[in-house]
Structure 1
Amino acid sequence: MRNKSIVKKQMLQYIGTILICVLVLGGILSLVYTQHYMKEKRNELIQQGRNISVAFSNAYRTGNLSNLSYELQVLEEYMGAKILMVNSDGVVVLASPGLDEMMIGQSFAYQELVEGVKDGNIVSMETKAKALFDVPTLVVGYPLSVGQMVGIFMCRPMPEMEQSLYQMYQMGIVSIFVVFLFAVVASYLTSKKMTRPIKQMNEAAKVIASGNFEHRVEIISNDEFGELAKSFNHMAESLQNNDKTRRDFIANVSHDLRSPLTSMQGFLTAMLDGTVPTEKQAKYLQIVLEETMRLSRLTEGIVDLSRAESSKIILEESDFDLNGLIRDNIILLEPQLNDKNAVIKAIYADQITMVHGDKDKISRVIQNLLSNAVKFSPVDGLIEVETTKTERKKVLVSIQDHGIGISQEDQKYIFDRFYKADRTRNEDMHGSGIGLAIVREFLQAHNEGITVKSVEGEGSTFVFSLKLAEE
């Protein structure tokens, strides 16, 4: 596992990239510098040839050629180049002191260069080792038109220039090696720093996987890693809340199951052993029936939520009047409204609003939202229902109460399964925390959404959308 660590992978990527860049850049700079260096040396030899040409012309005019040999020696020692003068026949007539005097009178080995200077051109050539020169040589020819002279040839051994280049390359390689070592160290430190948040999240994930959902990752930057750490912490918080709501749900469902079962068991036992008179059995049987219906609704809600989360919701879509569906659900809530002396005020966009969807499931959505609005409204409270058409062939349904409201923190999780806001627990003793989760799943099955706006102490407004029926 250590060989596959992200630090090593990232380091190898950095080092590989740097190495390729250094090699490519070094090759390009070496080529460019070599060409520039050789060009400079050619220009130096050309300048030397120009100076010799001027000196020889002056000496030839004055007839004082005695100092020319000395000047050639000085230039030879200063420039490190040997000098030859060739006549129109290509024969060496004068040579610098560093050359063998036996060369005087011999034909110049590179007649093509002689022809070039005869035409008045400056010529050059990098020669290989031959009899005239024992080593590869840079030869530069400069035209000269004095007497029988046609050209001056400056010859500089290539190994001397290559030695200078080699020394400079050595210094360059040492410098690059030092920089490369620094880059390796910087890559290692950078990789360690960049992967530290990932290692922390990996360790945190192991802790969370063991069941400790309270563990969090420290956010130390505002970059992508910081965003990832925030998302990780948000995930851990969601897992913690889901775990808490799951435990609360088990406790709530256990209570919701135990209470009616205990009640039913007591009533049935009393009737069987004769404690309850025959004339009162009908009353208690009605209570038992209501409890069984309550259990049926609870189990039906759990089954619906399970189907919704497994994407097995089957919609039976049709066109129906939304206004009529809202009125029907308001009528069903009359007993609860009478208990609180509450009023529902409905405002419709049109007299008839035809929408397309699964009527039964949309009825469940409206029933759940209206029931919650009544449940958490104060005595003599007002509940407002309003429909509004949009330009996108949608209708928005708004259900507003003026009750206890929902905190900003609870609004993040209000549609999560099994979640019950802390302030609603005492108010909603029979709730299981799955009503709003089912509402959201039913609407998502219709490709619609639901939102909530709430202020604590002022009430809540739930808004969902539906598709208008085709005209």
Structure 2
Amino acid sequence: MKANLFFKYLVCYLLIVISSLIILNTVGAGRIRNGIINDNIRSMKIEAETITSDYMKGYYSGNMSLFDVDNGLKTIDTFADARIMIINAVGEVVSDTRGTSFNDKNERRRLPAWLLEKDSYVGGNIKELSNKAIVAVISPIDIDFVLKGYVVLSMEVSELEKDASYSIDTLNICFLILGVVFLIALLFLYRISIIPLRAVIKAAREYARGNFDYVFATEENRHDEFRDLMDTIEYMAKELSLMEEYQRKFISNISHDFRSPLTSIKGFATAMMDGTIPPELYNKYLSTICFETDRLTKLTSGLIELNKFDSHQALLDIREFDLHSMIKQTVEAFEGKCRDKHISLNLIFEGDESLVMADKGKIEQVFYNLIDNAIKFSHNDSDINITTKSKGNKVIVSVKDYGIGIPKESLKKIWERFYKTDTSRGKDKKGSGLGLAIVKEIIQSHGEEIDVISTENAGTEFVFTISKAGV
């Protein structure tokens, strides 16, 4: 931002103020001036009509003398602040509130004929009225449909411009006061928006450098969108920090899990090549090499599977199938392992069949991983129960063993990739630590939930849901 956002605000503010003042004192001043002139013309026309009805009809009917008319017009002049003239039918001045009716030659003064033909006039000076620009109103005096003369009211434009200037000055003062108010508002806007925005930018730069412990240097009592933005960025930084830690652990784990079988394979192959291992033991060590190769294959397949879920490339083939039939087929694959450990796999189904809508291959993988884990961590001569139960539009599935269980502090970590709960006792040394991570990704990709209940030295139960078919 480099402090230029406030500068832009200030430039916009000055442009608005200056352009508004220019417009007010040009276009606005002209309209105010014209408005005052038009208002005075209307007022003078009303006064002219009043003079005609109240004075001139009485004068021409003989009921009033010219002296009485002059006195009345001078009173009106005082209140209306306008020069009043009475003109006869031939254009001669009969009465003038601010001058005489005769010129230096003792002749009656005359007004131009073209002026008497107008009803109003705004323009340059007329020597018979004033040496300055004037506003004049001409009202005919009709008595019994006979033109007897004219009533002429005039006023210098400069007098009206004083009123216009006063109005414009008042508006300028009000506008300048508003300008100060707007400037204070701009400074307040700067404080509540640009300052926290700078804090956000600084924090983002710190987080970009890897300083995820940076704390915003701003008011803690804010409760607005900037506070939400700051909280969101802080949360993002924490997540990035956790992601960075996860990546370090991920690289460490995957390096360890790849290095161990590769070391075995290379060691046995080298020993066979240089004669350290006699030919009669080749089959034994070749079996070990095949075993380690299978471990690498499973680990690679698991990583590829998880990567598909991470990049949203894992497409589900959702179709209807019988869950009970699929579970039975999966269980058959573990007969040998169960026989070796004398473990009983008990299928407790609700009904003969259970039709569900899911990706059969993916759900089969879920059962394979869960049953494999249950056998691995079960004691000899124990039971494993697989239960299905219908509830609403879901089928609730449970895989429960009575083995060593999961420590309480490990329950939240079992879904993490490469996490192994009992490496110290060697129970899961053959595993990759990816099985439960894959299980959770598959269940969540179906829009379902999976949970675990476990007590150490008592057993573990995994419970998840699958959507029924035809619902």
**Shared fold (TM-score, shorter chain, > 0.5):** yes
Query: Are residues 1:139 and 2:155 paired?
Result: no
Distance 2:339 2:85 in 1: 122
1:171 corresponds in structure 2 to 170
Distance 2:446 2:365 in 1: 15
1:72 corresponds in structure 2 to 73
CA drift of 1:460 comes to: 7.6
Relative distance call for 1:262 and 1:46 in structure 2 (3 A) is: same
Distance 1:425 1:344 in 2: 28
Relative distance call for 1:329 and 1:105 in structure 2 (3 A) is: same
1:112-191 matches, cutoff 5 A: 112-113=117-118, 123-133=119-129, 134-142=131-139, 144-145=141-142, 149-191=148-190
CA drift of 1:301 comes to: 1.4
CA drift of 1:169 comes to: 1.0
1:2 corresponds in structure 2 to 2
Distance 2:139 2:375 in 1: 109
2:298 corresponds in structure 1 to 297
CA drift of 1:467 comes to: 9.5
SS of equivalent to 1:212: coil
SS of equivalent to 2:211: coil
Distance 1:9 1:460 in 2: 63
Please, what is the CA RMSD of the aligned residues? 5.2
Aligned amino acid, residue 249 of structure 2: D
CA drift of 1:101 comes to: 4.3
1:244 corresponds in structure 2 to 245
CA drift of 1:227 comes to: 2.9
Deviations 1:188-238 (A, max 9, x none): 441342133332222222222222223344665443333322322222122
1:213-224 matches, cutoff 5 A: 213-217=212-216, 221-224=222-225
CA drift of 1:258 comes to: 4.6
Distance 2:238 2:53 in 1: 91
1:15-414 matches, cutoff 5 A: 33-34=32-33, 37-49=36-48, 52-53=51-52, 56=55, 60=59, 62-98=63-99, 101-102=102-103, 104-113=109-118, 123-133=119-129, 134-142=131-139, 144-145=141-142, 149-217=148-216, 221-260=222-261, 273=276, 289-310=290-311, 313=314, 321-332=322-333, 335=337, 347=349, 351=353, 353=355, 355=357, 357=359, 359-368=360-369, 384-386=387-389, 390=393, 398-399=397-398
Distance 1:171 1:125 in 2: 28
User: Are the counterparts in 2 of residues 245 and 418 from structure 1 also a CA contact under 8 Å?
Assistant: no
CA drift of 1:128 comes to: 4.6
User: Are the counterparts in 1 of residues 91 and 110 from structure 2 also a CA contact under 8 Å?
Assistant: no
Deviations 1:119-167 (A, max 9, x none): xxxx544345455554443323456456964542211222321232123
Among all aligned residue pairs of Structure 1 and Structure 2, give the percentage whose two residues are the same amino acid: 23
Deviations 1:338-373 (A, max 9, x none): 96968665546872637574x544433443455567
SS of equivalent to 2:98: coil
Distance 2:352 2:26 in 1: 79
Relative distance call for 1:226 and 1:465 in structure 2 (3 A) is: farther
SS of equivalent to 1:155: strand
Worse-superposed segment, 213-222 or 247-256: 213-222
Aligned amino acid, residue 242 of structure 2: N
SS of equivalent to 1:215: coil
Distance 1:97 1:373 in 2: 120
Worse-superposed segment, 78-87 or 126-135: 126-135
Aligned amino acid, residue 135 of structure 2: L
Aligned amino acid, residue 126 of structure 1: V
CA drift of 1:82 comes to: 1.3
Distance 2:31 2:5 in 1: 38
Query: Are residues 1:451 and 2:449 paired?
Result: yes
Relative distance call for 1:326 and 1:10 in structure 2 (3 A) is: farther
CA drift of 1:246 comes to: 1.6
Aligned amino acid, residue 85 of structure 2: L
Distance 1:169 1:150 in 2: 39
Distance 1:72 1:376 in 2: 121
Distance 1:419 1:224 in 2: 39
Distance 1:98 1:333 in 2: 129
TM-score normalised by L of structure 2: 0.70
CA drift of 1:185 comes to: 4.3
Distance 1:426 1:30 in 2: 92
Deviations 1:94-121 (A, max 9, x none): 22224774473445542333xxxxxxxx
User: Are the counterparts in 2 of residues 337 and 374 from structure 1 also a CA contact under 8 Å?
Assistant: no
Aligned amino acid, residue 161 of structure 1: L
Structure 2 unaligned regions, length at least 5: none
Deviations 1:389-417 (A, max 9, x none): 85xxxx7665576976999x959xx87x7
Relative distance call for 1:21 and 1:145 in structure 2 (3 A) is: same
1:460-471 matches, cutoff 5 A: 463=464
TM-score normalised by L of structure 1: 0.70
User: Are the counterparts in 1 of residues 453 and 461 from structure 2 also a CA contact under 8 Å?
Assistant: yes
Worse-superposed segment, 82-91 or 244-253: 82-91
SS of equivalent to 1:66: helix
Relative distance call for 1:369 and 1:228 in structure 2 (3 A) is: farther
Structure whose CA Rg is larger: 2
SS of equivalent to 1:110: helix
SS of equivalent to 1:104: coil
Structure 1 unaligned regions, length at least 5: 114-122
